[in-house]
Structure 1
Amino acid sequence: MSATTPTLPNSFWDSLATKEDERARIRWYMCVIINLSSLNYPDVIPQVYKHLQDHLLQDMTKAQRFNAIQIIREGLIKSTGISGAARTGNAMRTLSQCVPEEYREESSGRANETHEFAVERGRQFWTNIYARNPAFDPEASVRASPDYAFVVRDVLYARIFSYDGVIDPLTTGLAMVSALYGMDCPNQLQHHMKGFLFNGGTREELFGLRDLCLGTAKILGVQSRYGAWPIPSVESAQPVSKQ
């Protein structure tokens, strides 16, 4: 028996209206699609794509449309390291059915990189997220399993998370946090929110993303085990008044 696809209410799009520039709006759509993927609701993605088409893509040039869709695809690829190949694959194939063929990619940018180059970049990206976080134990994964630590640092961070051919590290941070909300993983969520702040993101962005992701789950009837975890503060982050 197939599951019924929920319909997103008109009020779902309200927070998008607060995004003043095109880049922020594209990031919003990216985060929603990643969150739907990690929540295992890929069948809702066509509703999001239609709204994207009707309210943003139709006013763009062909090159701008391709870039916007490429950003969303890249965000989904980044989320593979959080929510896994199965859920991401379902979301990517669903998105592909919505996207006109002229906006599909014809080759892989990652395939043109050497493993050594990717590993070096991945280790730097890993350091930028975790090095300033005193709550993170860098040897915990090694103690748990050296093979697991290798896969995370020299495969996921090298080949997936740190790739910067399409989106920048801050956009990658938003993608990872969106996926972690969907997967309901509070420990990793805290670390990646701190990494986002250490690298120049703001708490205001994280408050907005938390409201978006938890609001999406509520609409879909998904009950979180851990709920709304607090937004962390770090010394280099910009403070906001909301608690």
Structure 2
Amino acid sequence: MAPITPTLPESFFSSVLNAKDTATKVRWYMCVIVNLSSLNYADVIPQVYSHLEANLLAGLSHDDQFKAVQQIQEGLVKSLGIAGAARTGNGLRVFAKCTPGGLLVKESLRLQETEATAIRRGKKFFSRVYDKNPLFKPEVTARASPDYWFIVKDIIYGRLFSFDAILDDLTSAYAMVSALYGMNSPDQLRNHMIGMQLNGADKQSLQELQDLLLGLGDILGVKFRFDRVPIPDVPSQACS
């Protein structure tokens, strides 16, 4: 017997209706859709797309509609590095079924750049996230698995996370953190929230994101293993 798909109440969407601009609204929808995919609730994505279509896309030009959809797709693609291929693939396929064909990306922009370019960019992005965070110990990860360390730095950060033709670093970080909430990964959440603050986010924005996504989990009836992660302060060493 197939599980029943939960229904999101209209009240859940109140914050996006009150958002100040289109970019903020697109990011809100992206974060929610990425989180649903990561939580393994891809079947709820059509409800979010329907709201997006009626309350935002309908008022935009075709080019701006395409850009908004492209950004949400890219947020899902980047969540692959957090949630894995299975859940990300489910989320992308469900999202694509909701979306008119004329708004879907038809070719891979990543194929148009060299591996060397991606690796250089990935190392710079990795440094911006972690280098000033004294709580992150790279040697621990490298010792755990040299292959994992190589894949994360050169492939996931190079080809996936740091790709900036569609999303900038900060918006990419929103997608990554949204997926981490779905995976309920406290240590990674802490480090990435510090990284977000080092790259322009403020604590209020991170608190709003946490309230949104944990509130979504409550609506869906998700039982997380780990408790809410406090929004971290930027370590004093990072400010010196």
TM-score (norm 1): 0.95
Partner of 1:172: 172
- Pairs within 5 Å for 1:54-93: 54-93=54-93
- Pairs within 5 Å for 1:222-241: 222-234=222-234
Partner of 1:21: 21
What amino acid sits opposite 1:108 in the alignment?
Answer: S
What amino acid sits opposite 2:198 in the alignment?
Answer: F
Is 1:137 matched up with 2:130?
no
Partner of 2:110: 110
- Pairs within 5 Å for 1:209-224: 209-224=209-224
Gaps of 5+ in 1: 237-243
Q: CA deviation at 1:141?
A: 1.3
CA distance in 2, matches of 1:21, 1:114: 35
Q: Which whole-Å deviations, capped at 9, do the CAs of 1:19-78 have from their partners, x for residues lacking one?
A: 111100000000000000000000000000000000000000000000000000000011
Q: Which whole-Å deviations, capped at 9, do the CAs of 1:173-216 have from their partners, x for residues lacking one?
A: 11011000000000000000000000011111100100011001
Partner of 1:38: 38
Q: CA deviation at 1:227?
A: 2.1
Q: Is contact 2:134-2:235 (8 Å) kept?
A: no
CA distance in 1, matches of 2:80, 2:235: 30
Counting matched residue pairs gives: 236
CA distance in 2, matches of 1:174, 1:126: 15
Partner of 2:51: 51
Q: Which whole-Å deviations, capped at 9, do the CAs of 1:138-190 have from their partners, x for residues lacking one?
A: 11111001001011111100010000010100001110110000000000000
Alignment partner of 1:216: what SS? helix
CA distance in 1, matches of 2:76, 2:227: 23
CA distance in 2, matches of 1:26, 1:146: 37
Partner of 2:124: 124
Output the aligned Cα RMSD. 1.0
Partner of 1:94: 94
Q: CA deviation at 1:17?
A: 3.0
Alignment partner of 1:20: what SS? coil
Gaps of 5+ in 2: none
CA distance in 1, matches of 2:139, 2:120: 19
Is 1:156 matched up with 2:156?
yes
- Pairs within 5 Å for 1:185-196: 185-196=185-196
List structure 1 segments (4+ residues) > 6 angstroms apart after TM superposition: none
CA distance in 2, matches of 1:120, 1:138: 18
CA distance in 1, matches of 2:23, 2:226: 31
What amino acid sits opposite 1:171 in the alignment?
Answer: T
Q: Is contact 2:128-2:199 (8 Å) kept?
A: yes
TM-score (norm 2): 0.97
Q: CA deviation at 1:14?
A: 1.8
Alignment partner of 1:139: what SS? helix
What amino acid sits opposite 2:87 in the alignment?
Answer: R
CA distance in 1, matches of 2:81, 2:66: 24
What amino acid sits opposite 1:66 in the alignment?
Answer: F
Report % sequence identity: 51
